Amino acid sequence: MADTIMVAGGAGYIGSHMVHQLIEEGYDVVIVDNLSTGHRRAVNPKARFYEGDTRDLDFLNQVFERENIQAVIHMDAFSIVPESVKNPLKYFDNNVIGMVKLFEAMQQHAIHYLIFSSTAATFGQPKKTPVADSAPQEPINPYGESKLMMEQMMKWVDQAYGIKSVALRYFNAAGALEDGSIGEDHNPETHLIPIILRTAMGEQDTLKIYGNDYNTPDGTNVRDYVHIIDLAQAHILALKYLQAGNPSDAFNLGSSTGFSVQEIVAAAREVTQKPIPAEFAPRRGGDPDTLVADSSRAKKVLGWKPKYDNIHDIIQTAWTWKQKHPQGYQDK
């Protein structure tokens, strides 16, 4: 019988693609989501959905008692950097406390495997690029700090209770399922590609490029955009890696190619065939110059083979979603 996997945050952008991919590969899936940032319409009808909060231990215990879960994929977190700077306690409460409760419930129900969505934000302003898995983790905002605390918790929980875990640190998650049935819909939207596509659709007049005086070739920030389905695939490989008896570990996930904001805008103009007016604006604050992943260990140890290595293809999938769902899920 197929393993049953719980996806915490399975109604979110990354979670909904994760659930899709698990179901594609024959897994049985349980979604836990409180729909605070996720969407009811992003809940996959082939999964069993429990609406509730990961900070609620009674709720989690009920789910673990009803379902025979073998592993948890934890994607349930707040992730807006500027919001975390304004309201750090919201982030420590939801992200850190949520993980404490999840681990308590897992321990009580003898669930041995956790795959965790971590982030490049745990590295802060890296001194070397590309960023290796072993680079120093010195977050520069509460969001990154909360995820680092969660990674650290994993180490001690493994030591004390034997719960094995893999942290996957994504760089810039991008794109959507190719058929455009699920995709990215945040409110407010802060991410570059969805805002570019909103501008392409004429929903806003001009894209603001935050800063053109960074220490990069064209002065705009350089980021590493990795397709959401490739990210989902890495989680399945990490799960198999743990189930094969391998030790807990952490891996950086990116395409290993950096693109400046201006390069992304140029690629989006080619994909959409729209003018996409853009203007320079002051720095947003808290943006590191360059963030590019060294994903060589994920490739070597997990056998990860990203399918999308072309930024145009990645943007095309986001564009298909946007054209099919100009207003996103429209359920909020």
Query: Whose CA is closest to 98, among 151, 68, 57, 51?
Result: 57
Q: Which stretch binds ligand UFG (CB under 6 A): 14-22, 87-95, 101-109, 186-194?
A: 186-194
**Minimal CB distance residue for ligand UFG:** 221
The least distance separating ligand UFG from the CB of residue 262, rounded to whole angstroms, comes to 9
Asked if residue 172 binds ligand UFG (CB under 6 A), the reply is yes
Three-class HEC string of 196-246? HHHHHCCCCCCEEEECCCCCCCCCCCEECEEEHHHHHHHHHHHHHHHHCCC
Asked if residue 198 binds ligand UFG (CB under 6 A), the reply is no
Closest CB to ligand UFG among 120 and 253? Answer: 120
Q: Please tell me which residue in 27, 50, 113, 143 is annotated as part of the active site.
A: 143
Asked if residue 223 binds ligand UFG (CB under 6 A), the reply is yes
* Distance of alpha carbon 302 from alpha carbon 225, whole angstroms: 20
**Among 90, 186, 269, 284, contact with ligand UFG (rule: CB under 6 A):** 284
**Among 16, 21, 94, 119, contact with ligand UFG (rule: CB under 6 A):** 119
Task: Specify whether 143 is catalytic.
Answer: yes
Burial 23-49 (b: 16+ CB within 10 A, else e): beeebbbbbbbbbebbbeebbbeebbb
Q: Which stretch binds ligand UFG (CB under 6 A): 16-24, 104-112, 184-192, 299-307?
A: 184-192
Asked if residue 253 binds ligand UFG (CB under 6 A), the reply is no
Closest CB to ligand UFG among 223 and 235? Answer: 223
**Among 191, 274, 297, 299, contact with ligand UFG (rule: CB under 6 A):** 191
Closest CB to ligand UFG among 71 and 209? Answer: 209
| CB proximity list for 100: less than 8 A, separation 6 or greater | 153
* Distance of alpha carbon 90 from alpha carbon 85, whole angstroms: 10
Asked if residue 75 binds ligand UFG (CB under 6 A), the reply is no
* Distance of alpha carbon 22 from alpha carbon 151, whole angstroms: 23
Give the tokens for residue 255. Answer: 């395409």
Closest CB to ligand UFG among 63 and 288? Answer: 288
**Among 11, 43, 120, 238, contact with ligand UFG (rule: CB under 6 A):** 120
* Distance of alpha carbon 90 from alpha carbon 96, whole angstroms: 10
User: Which residue has tokens 């969407």?
Assistant: 39
Closest CB to ligand UFG among 148 and 192? Answer: 192
Asked if residue 201 binds ligand UFG (CB under 6 A), the reply is no
* Distance of alpha carbon 10 from alpha carbon 34, whole angstroms: 10
**Among 261, 276, 311, 315, contact with ligand UFG (rule: CB under 6 A):** 261
The least distance separating ligand UFG from the CB of residue 211, rounded to whole angstroms, comes to 6
Q: Is the separation of the CB atoms in 276 and 196 below 8 Å?
A: yes
240-244 contacts at long range (C-beta below 8 A, 24 or more positions apart): 241/166, 241/301, 241/302, 242/71, 242/112, 242/113, 242/115, 242/164, 242/165, 242/166, 243/71, 243/113
Instruction: Give me the active site residues, please.
Output: 143
**For binding to ligand UFG (CB under 6 A), which residues are involved?**
79, 81, 119-121, 143, 172, 190-192, 195, 207-210, 221, 223, 261, 284, 287, 291
